[in-house]
Structure 1
Amino acid sequence: MEWQVWLGIIAIVIGVLALAVAVGAWSQQAWMRRREGRRAVPQSVPAARQIAVVVNPSKLHASGLPAQVRAHCAANGLPEPLWYETTVDDPGKGQARQALDDGADIVIAAGGDGTVRAVAETMVTSDKPMGVLPVGTGNLLARNLELPLTNMDEALDVILAGRTRAIDVGWLRVMEFADTPRNDEHPNQPDHEPDTDREHIFLVIAGLGFDAAMVATADSDLKKKVGWVAYFVAGLSHMQARRMRATLQLDDDPPVDARARSIMVGNCGMLPGGVTLLPDAVLDDGVLDVAAVDVRGGVLGWAQLTLEIAMQGVGVRNELPEKLGRIDHTKARRARIRVPAGEEAQVDGDPLGRAVEVDVRVQPGALLVRAP
């Protein structure tokens, strides 16, 4: 009977996850309907403005973009757009630099979250804005900027006729990696050697623990078929993992010990499906939101946590002190997290490997973006 019990448990969890996604999707669709009702009619941009596009050619919808962008520029009296394709060796940082050197006034990142991160890493050093065309799986920044996700013409309208907004960026440095080799159980682990000298930019959420383990083990083929749902499927295999022991230091406060499934540091908080993980996070408030996610009590704890995430997305908070599944929120400009046993780390859905200690900081107002 043991396998039947576990089958029932898995069915319950999947059902709860489906409820969370449905509630989140409903709230996001309602918001989109409200926003569409007040969206301004696009105005033409000055003819002197030069658009450049850094595109990830591997993305499913990227093949038709050149003609669409050219037509949109021509309709607005703009010159022929500059075009640059990312490569395995350079996911967008060098291409963005070349676009700026070639005289671009706006550099558009057309790809997934990895492409957006790479382009943003160059753009933080410039006084030019970045645009986003969401053609990836998660499209995390696009969601949090309230950009159109399915209509490229509307997304281009925002880039050409929207406003320029200065937003914060986060930076994560892995201070110490766990001494564990890459293996087949973590197919998405980076192929490069661990680098403790490099800071990794993130625009949405960085994390240690359960969330990063989902990213590291998500099936690439399944992602192509069902998108971000593949992360939830990967998460099922990590639900029985032990809670991690962590030491967390925020700004100049004394370090505190914690037990958690994940510790996440976010610049904004909306995830795919309209799920809001960090309801108080704001893109331009100069601070990062820190969330310690913990679950006890097995499947009941996970069910409670999932419902709590779904309900906080529609503005309902559960303030009961004793909960099997809980998220504790706070804010800081800098966070140092140490996990002696080592845990998976990620930035905006890109796995970094198993880390023992990370240092995270905010750079306020560092990135100019085109937004509604």
Structure 2
Amino acid sequence: MTIESTAEPTAEQPRPVRPLDLEARRVLMLVNRKAGSGRGRAIVEHATEALAEHGLSVEQISDLGKLHDATLSAMQAGELRGVVSAGGDGTICAALNSTPPGAPLAVLPLGTENLLARYFSHRRSPKSVADLLTKGVIVPMDAGQAGDQLFTTVVSAGLDAEVVRELHENRRGNISHLAYVAPLLRTIAKYRYPKVRVTSVDTTGEAFSATGRWSFLLNLPRYALNLPIAPNAVGTDGLLDACVLERGSLGTGLWYVLQMLRRRHHMLDSVHTARRSKFRIESADGEPIPYQIDGDPGGMLPVEVTSLPGRMSLVASLEVAQRLGFETGAEKTGGERD
């Protein structure tokens, strides 16, 4: 039967935003080498110029070790305005893992999937990036941690994770949506839908354990193709939303997708959901099963996945911060900050 979480988000006061340090002039831009050509490269260059027009010094970086050292140095010197992730969800995930807590992160969405950017209404526009780093605010969002890796949006194990593994093992250059077709067809042809077990390992609410052929742990209500797997996930409640689907076949997978689009999948007896701060995902029958993190390979099960409250410092527009329920200081001034 469907297992609903009894651990509702705790009532809390709205989290306050932090202002950008407008005296700081240094911007670090993480540029994905594999996506750094063609139109994407032109957008990166135009964004660099747009930021320079506001008196900001931009350093483009592709090496993650260098990004960590440069961010830490700039923060300690009080020079960091923000870190811009120029790429997709994998790039912002890499930026999160390579920067110290508190580093302001903004997204210039250039990837195949830009789930976090869509959630925060970040646009593929040089002007949008310049507006964020001159008029935006810093909002404290939860991150997730799978093993020793931080993530922004989702961890999953099942057919989708196997497709991700297959794609990245055989990738050549840039990834587009068409690049998923061949690995998807190869995976469908051979995939056996091994059993995955998801259990809660925190102390909130009732115990949760579910076994299925697909499993998802979401920090935000976003997934590829905008599938509403966990439409009520909240990135500020210190909890992750689990969704485990029992049945495994291509036909039932398509049926689950249809029910998700109808926002009815949580009512099915073969769908199990829970909201907790920490889960464990493991193979239920000993078969090796990969998992994916924000669209990139994460490793092989088992893995423990935890919510880290307030670990992400994301730059958002004032309007988006208000929409997400943050305390902006504009509530008493009719929309303008003090």
Cα 1:98–1:135 change in 2 (3 A) is farther
Partner of 1:209: 158
Give the Cα–Cα distance (whole angstroms) in 2 for the partners of residues 327 and 133 of structure 1.
Answer: 35
Distance across 2 between alignment mates of 1:215 and 1:254? 33
Alpha-carbon separation, structure 1, partners of 2:192 and 2:117 = 32
Asked if the contact 1:84–1:95 (Cα under 8 Å) also holds between the matched residues in 2, the reply is no
- 2:145 matched to 1:171? yes
Give, in whole Å, the separation in 1 of the partners of 2:129 and 2:225.
19
Corresponding residue of 1:69: 47
Q: Which residue of 2 aligns with 1:344?
A: 290
Pair 1:303-2:254 in alignment: yes
Q: CA deviation at 1:343?
A: 0.7
2:275 maps to: 331
C-alpha separation between the residues in 1 aligned to 2:177 and 2:272?
25
> For 2:202, which of 241, 248, 251 is the aligned residue?
251
- Name the residue aligned to 2:325: none
Structure 1 position 158, deviation (Å) = 2.8
Aligned-partner residue type, residue 167 of structure 1: M
Of 328, 347, 358 in structure 1, the residue corresponding to residue 303 of structure 2 is 358
Report the alpha carbon displacement of residue 85 of structure 1 after superposing the two structures with TM: 1.9
Contact 1:133 1:155 in 2 (8 A): yes
C-alpha deviations, 1:89-121, integer Å up to 9, x for none? Answer: 748444543553562121212223332122212
Matched, 1:291 2:237: no
Relative to structure 1, is the Cα distance of residues 65 and 170 closer, same or farther in structure 2, using a 3 angstrom cutoff? Answer: same
Residue 47 of structure 1, CA deviation: 6.2
Partners in 2 of 1:232 and 1:331 — Cα distance? 33
Q: TM-score, normalised by structure 2?
A: 0.74
Q: Deviations over 1:228-250 (max 9, x none)?
A: 35446533444452341425234
Identify if the C-alpha distance between structure 1 residues 203 and 48 changes in structure 2 by more than 3 Å, giving closer, same or farther. closer
The verdict on how the C-alpha distance between 1:50 and 1:353 changes in structure 2, with shifts beyond 3 A counting, is closer
Give structure 1 stretches of 5+ with no counterpart.
1-43, 174-198
Shift of 1:202: 0.6
Task: Tell me, yes or no, if the aligned pair for 2:212 and 2:247 is still in contact at 8 Å.
Answer: yes
Cα 1:230/1:292, change in 2 over 3 Å: farther
- Contact 1:92/1:115 (CA < 8 Å) preserved in 2? no
1:179-218 equivalence runs, <5 A:
199-218=148-167
Deviations 1:321-356 (CA, angstroms, capped at 9, x unpaired): 45xxx543211101122213221022112213322x
Q: Which residue does the alignment assign to 1:370?
A: 315
- Residues 170 and 203 in structure 1, CA contact (< 8 A), matched pair in contact too: yes
Distance 1:98 1:259, change over 3 A: same
| Separation in structure 1 between the aligned mates of residue 26 and residue 60 of structure 2, nearest angstrom | 14
Q: Select which of 215, 235, 242 maps to 2:184.
A: 235
2:210 maps to 1:265? no
SS of 2:75 mapped into structure 1: helix
Unaligned runs of 5+ in 2: 1-19, 318-338
For residues 112 and 96 of structure 1, the distance between their equivalents in structure 2, rounded to whole angstroms, comes to 20
Contact 1:247-1:255 at 8 Å conserved across structures: no
Structure 1 residues 91, 349: closer, same or farther in 2, change over 3 A? farther
The total of aligned residue pairs comes to 289
Secondary structure at 1:64's aligned position in 2?
helix
Render the CA deviation track for 1:147-196: whole Å, top value 9, x for unaligned. 22x333224323332222110011111xxxxxxxxxxxxxxxxxxxxxxx
Which whole-Å CA distance do the structure 1 matches of 2:97 and 2:44 have between them?
Answer: 24
2:174 equivalent to 1:224 = yes
Separation (CA, whole Å) in 2 of partners of 1:244 and 1:216: 18
